[in-house]
Structures are given as C-alpha cells and as structure tokens.
C-alpha cells in the first residue's frame, strides 16, 4: 500500500494533495510531527568515479569536493544564463542522488546523459524510489530517517541548504531576519519496500500533503523549478544565487551571464512575496497577472493558504515595478496584495563592486572579481 492509497488521501496524479485537513497538516508538518510524501518529485541517480568533477564542470554549483552525506543544490543554465533544470544534490561516496521536480526529471536525466562524453559516469532516472519531506527536529525526522535507504549505514536524507547563504553564494534579500532561516526542510529517499512499510505504520495525524509542504516553502521565499522558472528565468531574479550558484568556481555554461548580471547589471525581473487579502474566498491561480494601478507588472508563480499568515504568494515582477501595494487579477475580480520585496530593484551591480574588463573563460583560473559575498 502506497501513500496515495491511504484513507482520506486526495490525489492529483502521483502527488497526494492533502489527507483531509490542510491547515492541521501544515501545523503538524511545521512542528516536525508529520511527513509529506512528495509524489511530485523524482530521483536521478548519477554514479561513477567522475560524477562530482563532471557535475562541477557543467552546472552552477561547486560539487567536486562534496563529502559523503553532504547536501547542496545545483542549476543547469543555458548559454544565456537562463535556468533550464534544477536539482537537490546528496552524495553518498559513490553516487550523487539528484532530487528534481517530476516534470523536469526526465529532461534533466536526458541532458546529463548527452553531456557524458568521456566522463566515467552513468545516469539513470529512478522512478522506483520515493521521497518524503519533513521538518527536522521532531518525531517525523526519526521515522523518515529510520525508513530511508542507507549507504555505509548512512541514511540518504537531503538537507535543504536554503536556511543560510551557501559557500560561494550571495543573498540579494535585504532583511534582518530571512524567513528561510527557520526552514529546516529535509527529504528522505526510500525504496518501494521502505515507502510501503512507512505508509502502513502511519496514521493521518502523522501525514501531510504537498499543499502543506508548499505553504511552508512559499512562506520561506524558497524558489522551485516547477513554479518560479519559465523560459526567461535567471537565478538572480529569485535570489537563487543564495543556495544554488557558486560565484567563485570555474567556467560552466551560462557563467558569463551570471557574472555580468551580478557584477555589472541588474536582473530584469525580481521575486516578491505577496500577502493577499483574505476577506474573500478567492485565491489566485499561478500565472495570474499582477498589477500596479492599471499597469501589468508581473505574474503569480506560487500561491497557498498558510495556517498562520493566511493567503500568501510568490510573484515574479518587472524590476521597475513599484514596491508598494499591488493587485492580483482573478476570474472573480481583483485581489489586493501587500508586497514584501525579496529581490530589490537594484540587486546586482553597486558602487562597491569592481567593474570587469573581461570575463575569464579558463576553468582553472576564474577571475576573482566574478564573486561577491
């Protein structure tokens, strides 16, 4: 019996949306006493002796020196620096486990396979494996860790790096207390037997759907490929350099744009958090247009009803969008939205950042002026 077969599970394809009470599930998930089956995410297995140096050379993150059990995340960028793929990374000493949104996993695995050339690596999408998410520090962590796959007696549990600025990263959000600091999100990798056994031993009080998990993610300003990425997305726009881009590493595809925007320019769009008017029952859909007065200035990317904050959303806005109150257009009319700036309009080049005469293309000798923070 899988999680989607449990009594009260409301599903959308492979994902369990909720188990009957979204707000209660959020509270228990936030408290560390519930697990969220993540049927909307998939595992890509990358094995072989060259896996880390190879991933380091073709993605945005410095992973060549990952130690067994260490977690990070990476982006695959196109030559113009736009986000194509995103994945969490957990290495166990012989395999790098990439956790990706289900809609992206096959394309990511196919791209990695094409990029192998002479590298000693193998790539495989592992749809036979399951993922469960939880907040660290509670009973859920104990249950998930006990059920996770183990390598050398080490459980395969990914720790989201979003809680702090990663080495080589940079935060654009200008806040004294970042909401991601309390986002102790973890994801355990389970085989079919482990997932079935865990599902059989849990009752509804110990389970939460992906709607609960999404509400906590949105409240933490945490970007995701399935929601915040479109064909124009640069990592700067959603403050993703904070955890997924290493500004000091050697050359990789898209690095020139990453460095230019960070050192010499500003991202053309910016992520903002919206507190939506909750007096109506109307909740915008992702993609809903955002307006400043009569001017359309962006669109909603993620939306949820949070158990404490009420209706909340993330939105990608034009860089020049005003920082005041906005409205979101829905099929039932406009919804008022109070804006909190995540990525400021002047993110990127500032007076104290040296201007570059050229960008290094040598992976062995990256220009130190590419980095900040």
Give the integer Cα–Cα distance in Å for 229 and 317.
Answer: 13
pLDDT in tens, 195-223: 999 999 999 899 999 999 999 999 999 99
Q: What is the CATH number of the domain that holds 195?
A: 3.30.1360.120
- Domain stops at, among 208, 228, 248: 228
Q: What is the CA radius of gyration of the chain?
A: 21
pLDDT of residue 364: 39
Same-domain status, 191 and 110: yes
Please calculate the CA angle 95-97-102 and round it to the nearest 5 degrees. Answer: 150
Tell me, letter by letter, the H, E, C secondary structure of 150-166: EECCEECEEECHHHCCC
pLDDT of residue 13: 84
Of the candidates 31, 85, 43, the one whose C-alpha atom is nearest the C-alpha of residue 187 is 43
Q: Please give the tally of structural domains in the chain.
A: 2
pLDDT in tens, 305-355: 999 999 999 999 999 999 999 999 999 899 999 999 999 999 998 544 444
The DSSP bridge partners found for residue 296 are 291
pLDDT of residue 357: 39
pLDDT of residue 1: 62
Same-domain status, 17 and 148: yes
**pTM confidence score:** 0.93
Q: Indicate the pLDDT class of residue 32, thresholds 50, 70 and 90.
A: very high
Give the integer Cα–Cα distance in Å for 216 and 208.
Answer: 12
Same-domain status, 71 and 188: yes
CB 342, CB 249: distance < 8 Å: no
The DSSP bridge partners found for residue 272 are 315, 341
Within-domain flag for 350: no
Within-domain flag for 133: yes
Same-domain status, 294 and 190: no
Same-domain status, 190 and 284: no
pLDDT of residue 350: 56
Give the integer Cα–Cα distance in Å for 259 and 348.
Answer: 9
Within-domain flag for 152: yes
pLDDT of residue 7: 86
Residue 159 has pLDDT above 70, yes or no: yes
Residue 117 has pLDDT above 50, yes or no: yes
pLDDT in tens, 138-150: 999 999 999 999 9
CB 148, CB 194: distance < 8 Å: yes
Same-domain status, 206 and 332: no
The residue range of the domain holding 208 is: 3-228
pLDDT of residue 21: 95
């Amino acid at each position: 019996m899988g999680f989607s077969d449990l009594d009260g599970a409301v599903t959308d394809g492979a994902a369990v949306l909720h188990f009957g009470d979204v707000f209660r599930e959020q509270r228990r998930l936030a408290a560390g006493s519930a697990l969220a089956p993540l049927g909307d995410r998939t595992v890509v297995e990358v094995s072989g002796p060259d896996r880390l140096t190879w991933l380091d050379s073709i993605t945005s993150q410095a992973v060549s020196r990952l130690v067994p059990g260490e977690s990070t995340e990476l982006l695959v960028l196109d030559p113009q620096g736009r986000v194509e793929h995103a994945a969490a990374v957990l290495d166990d000493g012989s395999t790098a486990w990439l956790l990706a949104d289900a809609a992206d996993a096959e394309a990511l695995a196919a791209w990695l396979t094409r990029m192998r050339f002479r590298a000693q690596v193998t790539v495989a999408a592992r749809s036979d494996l399951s993922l469960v998410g939880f907040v660290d520090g509670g009973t859920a962590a104990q249950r998930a860790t006990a059920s996770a796959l183990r390598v050398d007696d080490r459980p395969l549990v990914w720790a989201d790096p979003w809680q702090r600025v990663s080495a080589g990263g940079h935060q654009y959000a200008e806040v004294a207390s970042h909401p991601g600091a309390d986002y102790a999100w973890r994801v355990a990798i389970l085989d079919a037997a482990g997932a079935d056994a865990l599902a059989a031993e849990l009752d509804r009080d110990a389970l939460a759907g992906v709607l609960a998990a999404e509400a906590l993610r949105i409240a933490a300003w945490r970007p995701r490929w399935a929601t915040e990425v479109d064909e124009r997305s640069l990592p700067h726009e959603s403050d993703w350099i904070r955890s997924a881009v290493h500004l000091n590493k050697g050359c990789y595809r898209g690095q020139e744009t990453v460095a230019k925007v960070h050192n010499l320019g500003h991202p053309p769009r910016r992520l903002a958090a919206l507190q939506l008017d909750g007096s109506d029952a109307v909740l915008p859909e992702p993609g809903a247009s955002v307006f400043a007065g009569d001017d359309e200035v962006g669109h909603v990317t993620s939306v949820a009803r949070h158990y404490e904050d009420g209706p909340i959303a993330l939105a990608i806005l034009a860089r020049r969008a005003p920082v005041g109150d906005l409205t979101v257009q829905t099929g039932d009319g406009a919804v008022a939205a109070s804006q909190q700036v995540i990525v400021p309009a002047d993110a990127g080049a500032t007076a104290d950042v040296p201007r570059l005469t050229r960008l290094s293309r040598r992976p062995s000798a990256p220009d130190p002026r590419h980095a900040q923070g």
